Structure 1
Amino acid sequence: MFSTSSRFNSRLLPLLLVGVIAVVLRQETVSYRCILLCQKQQEHISDGVCHIHNDHFGFSYGTADIMCPVPSGCDKPSHVAVVSVNAKFEGTTPFLTMPNTVKHIQTAQLNSHDPPSKTQDNLHHSLPGLVEVIPRSMSRFLNVSRGWLPEHGSGDLHYFGQIPALNDCLYRSMYQSKYVALPDVDELILPQTVKR
């Protein structure tokens, strides 16, 4: 999730927006409703707008940003839920916290296909107290591809769900980190020249 100011509506008035990174079926047209928890846990509802990323590599599902306008009277939303307009909302919808409202010193991301417990154990041993492991469990919900194109690996979503994971890392780091690097684990960043 991320928040930003943007020119959003037809009158071009600046609004505060909350964005939720989602994985959506690209061929399906869905209208979304955003439920924001504001001061004193008051619920504010607004219509969400879905923008599907172009980098879906031809898979059925793709990464999307669902943009939720923050209504007036909601200065600092703390949680958000996004539901289909047709869904029955009975107060049992799970809310997501706004992760990038608390300042952190440093953020690191590692994409790994190892089981989360194995990755976490290795990172805690080598970098104690510095690393938080955020498990990515797309394969519980979709048949994720092991290839970067459909002809290189069947599935519904590109390469283990890498694009929503990278977007999540980027937006979690927004407003908190001066620099964010997203290198592949098989790539190295080396200087071209070295001054001695």
Structure 2
Amino acid sequence: MNKPKKMRGKFYFLIIATLIFILCIAVRIPRMDWVVRQMRGALNMACPLQISERTITPLNNTKHLLVSAYMDQRVNGFDVRIIGIFKRDSIQPLYCVFCCPGQLSNTTPATILQHSDNFGFPYVTTDVMCRIPQNCNATHVSLLTQPGGERVFNQTWLPIRNQKTKGKEEEKLQFNFTVCISNLFGGFNNVLQFAQTLEMYRLLGVNRVVIYNTSCGPDLDRLLQSYSQEGFVEMVPWPIDQHLNPSHSWLFSKSGGDVHYYGQLTTLNECIYRSMDRSRYVLLNDIDEIIMPYKHNNLMSLMEMLQQQHPNKGVFLIENHIFPKKPYEPKWGPVPIWRGVPGINILERIYKEEPDRNVYHPHKMIVRPRMVQQTSVHEVLSIFGQTFKVPPDVCRIIHSPISTPTERPLDQLQVDTRLRNFTAKLIPRVNTVLRRAGLLT
């Protein structure tokens, strides 16, 4: 994707070098070191020559991968946070170099922070913290394995995002709620549940959904392209399988592979920083989960109450409740028009399992992104504020997995028809988006 930029950069460099050489001949300058200095100046003026437009960029001379760079001045002594995926047994000293307007900066030593959750996999989500030198209004950053020295022509640069985050008022943010979905892989084609969940979130007040896509089925791709054109969904390409052997599971000892669950931990962190400058709240959950308020009709009313009661809290843990595949409500049945649409109908599921709170029970989260430094799947790893566990009668997750490993008898389940409170608005909306994507006849 970045080949044209690379070729243009080399072309411009050759033109400048040729002009300098011609000038030297014309004025008969004998000192070739002057030519070298001018060529270096031309290179500096053109920095960066190669700007990565990829979501996963290999770091030269290492086994590591870089994802994105963000301005982050919340930690004293640092200005920029680079999110990456590093091989744990191959981490070596690194040095940050910045592109300032018209010149390259001096290198500064990087601080490398491995996230504490790696679930035994060889590769781990990693933050590289950099300090920008004085008098440098940095626009791009790169990492080197040696301090100082000559810059190689094929060095790849990352744009520094969130340049105006510091001091920005929450009231001016673009979105109130962003949902981060990670990750689509394996030709996933559960169209009906996807449409139902996204439209349910829209009814609850979500403004933006970010999805990291390794691969999905053709029908789901049509649906997501339609949502992207509308602007509700932001699709982030995530070709992790082109760089590593990603695991289909969360634990290395059970599945092997290079990285946890197609890099889920990295995408969740990347999504928080991607949303930090534009969204008041971020919801971290999977597509088969709906964070559902039970005492409010939308997420804003819920969060206004929770923030008023708990002003110092930056992370709100939402308890998971599973709605299994069987039994389901036979009288409801699928809406006839949906019979040919791939995927499950979550409106059939009105029976839920009561969690066993005597053992570890996972939660998902609503977070204030600018209070989070690092996150895992079910809890944050580093936070500036505090965490609050939301009572399940106030808000809980409606989790409708495609399948469940065990089937409980009916007398061990509870009836929960909360989703059906929204069907009068939900069903027409689902029909509209499916028809717009050409998935309904």
Assess, with a 3 A threshold, how the Cα gap between structure 1 residues 122 and 102 changes in structure 2: closer, same or farther: farther
Tell me, yes or no, if structure 1 residue 105 matches structure 2 residue 207.
no
Name the amino acid aligned to 1:129. E
Aligned residues: 188
In the alignment, does 2:257 pair up with 1:147? Answer: no
Q: What's the CA shift string for 1:10-50, capped at 9, x where partnerless?
A: xxxx4342111111111223010111112235334211111
Does the CA-based 8 Å contact 1:46-1:68 persist in structure 2? yes
Task: Indicate the percent of aligned positions where both proteins have the same amino acid.
Answer: 29
Aligned CA distance change for structure 1 residues 120 and 66 (closer, same or farther; 3 Å): farther
TM-score normalized with structure 1 length: 0.83
User: What is the DSSP-based 3-state SS (H/G/I as helix, E as strand, rest coil) of the residue aligned with 2:162?
Assistant: helix
Partner of 1:3: 71
Q: Name the larger-Rg structure.
A: 2
Which sits farther off after the overlay, 178-187 or 139-148?
178-187
The aligned amino acid for 1:39 is P
Pick which of 144-153 and 86-95 moved more: 86-95
More helix by share: 2
Give, as a single letter, the amino acid of the residue that structure 1 aligns with 2:225.
H
Counterparts of 1:84 and 1:164 in 2: how far apart (Å)?
A: 22
Per the alignment, in what secondary structure is the counterpart of residue 274 of structure 2? helix
Inter-CA distance 6–193: structure 2 relative to 1 (3 Å threshold): closer
The CA distance in 1 between the partners of 2:216 and 2:134, in whole Å, is: 40
What is residue 102 of structure 2 aligned with on the other side?
A: 40
Is the 8 Å Cα contact of residues 109 and 169 (structure 1) preserved in structure 2?
yes
The 3-state SS of whatever aligns with 2:280 is coil
1:21 matched to 2:89: no
Query: Quick check: 1:170 aligned with 2:272?
Result: yes
Instruction: Find the partner of 1:93 among 135, 155, 159.
Output: 155
1:89 deviates by 3.5
Task: Please list every run of 5 or more consecutive structure 2 residues that lacks an aligned counterpart in the other structure.
Answer: 1-68, 166-172, 188-214, 298-441
Contact 1:6/1:15, CA 8 A, preserved across alignment = no
1:43/1:122 Cα in 2 relative to 1: closer, same or farther (>3 Å)? farther
Cα distance in 1 for residues equivalent to 2:235 and 2:249: 24
| 2:92 corresponding residue in structure 1 | 30
Residues 100-130 of structure 1 show CA distances to partners (whole Å, capped at 9, x for unaligned) of: 2378834553321142795654223135331
Residue in structure 1 matched with residue 224 of structure 2 by the alignment = 123
Matched residue type, 2:174: I
Which runs of 5 or more structure 1 residues have no equivalent in the other structure? 8-13
Q: Verify the 8 A CA contact 1:100 1:173 in the aligned structure 2.
A: no
Q: C-alpha offsets along residues 81-111 of structure 1, whole Å, 9 cap, x if unaligned?
A: 1232289741321111123237883455332
Report if aligned partners of 1:120, 1:133 keep a CA contact under 8 Å in 2. Answer: no
